[in-house]
Amino acid sequence: MTRVVFASADPNSSDIRAVEVDMSTDLGTLELPAPVLTASGCAAAGKELDQFFDITELGAIVTKSVMLKPRSGRATPRMAETPSGMLNSIGLQGPGIDQFIEHDLAWLAQRGARTIVSIAGGSVDEYAKLAQRLRNVPGVAGLEVNISCPNVENRGQVFACHAGTAAQVVQAVKRFADPKMPILAKLSPDVTDIAEIADAVVRAGATGISVMNTTLGMVIDLDSMRPALAGVTGGLSGPAIRPIAVRCVWQIRQALPHIPILGMGGIRSGEDALQFILAGANAVSIGTVIFNDPSAPLRIQEELAQALAIRGFTSVSEAVSFAHRSATAEVGVEVSEEDQDGQ
Ligand SMILES: Cc1cc2nc3c(=O)[nH]c(=O)nc-3n(C[C@H](O)[C@H](O)[C@H](O)COP(=O)(O)O)c2cc1C
């Protein structure tokens, strides 16, 4: 329970109220004491953040996607600023699974943080090997399968962009992971029908959905008159993508009413996080904002408790998907396809 003290919304009242909000939530079998997590790639393995706040107070740490072998990532420059966001093409730099288990995971386990390990591969077989390598390793609360990776065996096509390849990866992970391990498939927004991909990965064995990864973007540097990133294109993140992410959560929740959803994309405040929860997310991840405010995850968690209390919620679970329920109850009419796209 989190105690929240706030002033009455009535401008004529000087009332100060104190209420308790139950911040616990779950992603299926993965029970979390709090609904705010870090986003993969934005907080490494949590060690640096632990200097700013107690990382065990968050729901969980989602680690940077790890691959089988060490990787130096893409050539520089690999970051560019954009209006209300940033573009990155880090290229999954990392120590490889063995070093990761020995150093990062061991540290997280000893620190007592719940850890969701993000895995990434260039082939279905690589994902399977990672899942197998992580079997029976202490300190793994769940797997997040980053399928926004190019398939080296198929002209670099991104796994997440096709229902078939997305499902193949998840099926392989499911087959080789611990049988009870929660498996979140992390989806890309760069698809025509996000609900179709979500449905395919759930049928393949995902126990939940993480959404969304960055969306593909590009910046031209006007001095060199060439692409600003050495990798030419990069992933756009930050507040610029928030409405896309909220829309993805909404559409997946509509299609799959009971699947656990971890929502993310441009969250900078508790009120931003609340949008995701009302749209259907059971928990949220915090990414880009960490680069300019390392204390953001815990601040956002506290702000979320306040945002819930002010609106009369006494728990996170009461608020999950609330926008769907109230949309049906208050509008009471079917919204036609034509009305939905705003054109
Ligand atoms: C620098 C950077 C590195 C990232 N690395 C990963 C990664 O390794 N694996 C992954 O699944 N997502 C990665 N992401 C995507 C984030 O986890 C998140 O899905 C996305 O940035 C949207 O959230 P945000 O706008 O709050 O950052 C990365 C994002 C950034 C900005």
Instruction: Tell me the per-residue pLDDT of 192-212, one tens digit each, with 9 for 90 and over.
Output: 999 999 999 999 999 999 999
Rounded distance from Cα 117 to ligand 1 centre (Å): 14
Candidate of 48, 67, 237, 289 to mutate for ligand 1, largest count of ligand atoms within 8 Å of Cβ:
237
**Nearest CA, atom 7, ligand 1:** 41
Which of 11-20, 155-164, 254-263, 306-315 shows the lowest per-residue confidence on average (mean pLDDT)?
11-20
**pLDDT, position 326:** 73
E-strand ranges in 212-309 read 215-217, 220-221, 226-227, 234-237, 261-263, 283-286
> Measuring CA to CA, which residue among 308, 223, 271 is closest to residue 25?
308
Q: Measured from the CB, is residue 139 less than 6 Å from ligand 1?
A: no
Q: Measured from the CB, is residue 265 less than 6 Å from ligand 1?
A: yes
Q: What is the pLDDT of residues 103-125, one digit of tens each?
A: 999 999 999 999 999 999 999 99
Q: How confident is residue 333, by pLDDT bands cut at 50, 70 and 90?
A: very low
**149 labelled catalytic:** yes
Question: Please, which residues have CB within 8 angstroms of residue 270's CB and are 6 or more apart in sequence?
Answer: 299, 300, 301, 302, 303, 304, 305, 306, 307
Percent of the chain scored above 90 by pLDDT? 81
**Six token digits for residue 227:** 């692409």
**pLDDT, position 37:** 98
**pLDDT, position 39:** 98
Which of 16-20, 94-98, 120-124, 172-176 shows the lowest per-residue confidence on average (mean pLDDT)?
16-20
**pLDDT, position 147:** 97
User: Is the model's pLDDT at 331 over the cut of 50?
Assistant: no
**pLDDT, position 339:** 56
**Average pLDDT in the chain:** 93
Q: How confident is residue 93, by pLDDT bands cut at 50, 70 and 90?
A: confident
Q: Measured from the CB, is residue 146 less than 6 Å from ligand 1?
A: yes
Please name the fold of domain 2-340: TIM Barrel (3.20.20)
Separation of alpha carbons 136 and 178, rounded Å: 7
Separation of alpha carbons 61 and 56, rounded Å: 8
Q: Measured from the CB, is residue 304 less than 6 Å from ligand 1?
A: no
Q: What is the pLDDT of residues 275-328, one digit of tens each?
A: 999 999 999 999 999 999 999 999 999 999 999 999 999 999 999 999 999 765
Q: How confident is residue 337, by pLDDT bands cut at 50, 70 and 90?
A: low
Rounded distance from Cα 307 to ligand 1 centre (Å): 25
Going by the DSSP 8-state scheme, the letter that residue 94 receives in this structure is B
User: Is the model's pLDDT at 340 over the cut of 60?
Assistant: no
**Nearest CA, atom 12, ligand 1:** 40
Q: How confident is residue 151, by pLDDT bands cut at 50, 70 and 90?
A: confident
**pLDDT, position 332:** 44
Separation of alpha carbons 90 and 85, rounded Å: 15
Q: Measured from the CB, is residue 160 less than 6 Å from ligand 1?
A: no
Q: How confident is residue 14, by pLDDT bands cut at 50, 70 and 90?
A: confident
Which of 60-69, 134-143, 267-276, 327-336 shows the lowest per-residue confidence on average (mean pLDDT)?
327-336
Q: Measured from the CB, is residue 41 less than 6 Å from ligand 1?
A: yes
Question: Please, which residues have CB within 8 angstroms of residue 162's CB and are 6 or more apart in sequence?
Answer: 197
Q: How confident is residue 84, by pLDDT bands cut at 50, 70 and 90?
A: very high
User: Is the model's pLDDT at 241 over the cut of 70?
Assistant: yes
Of 90-104, 146-160, 177-191, which one has max mean pLDDT? 177-191
**pLDDT, position 73:** 78
**Nearest CA, atom 26, ligand 1:** 287
Separation of alpha carbons 187 and 130, rounded Å: 19
Rounded distance from Cα 229 to ligand 1 centre (Å): 17
Overall average pLDDT of the 135-162 stretch: 91
User: Is the model's pLDDT at 3 over the cut of 90?
Assistant: no
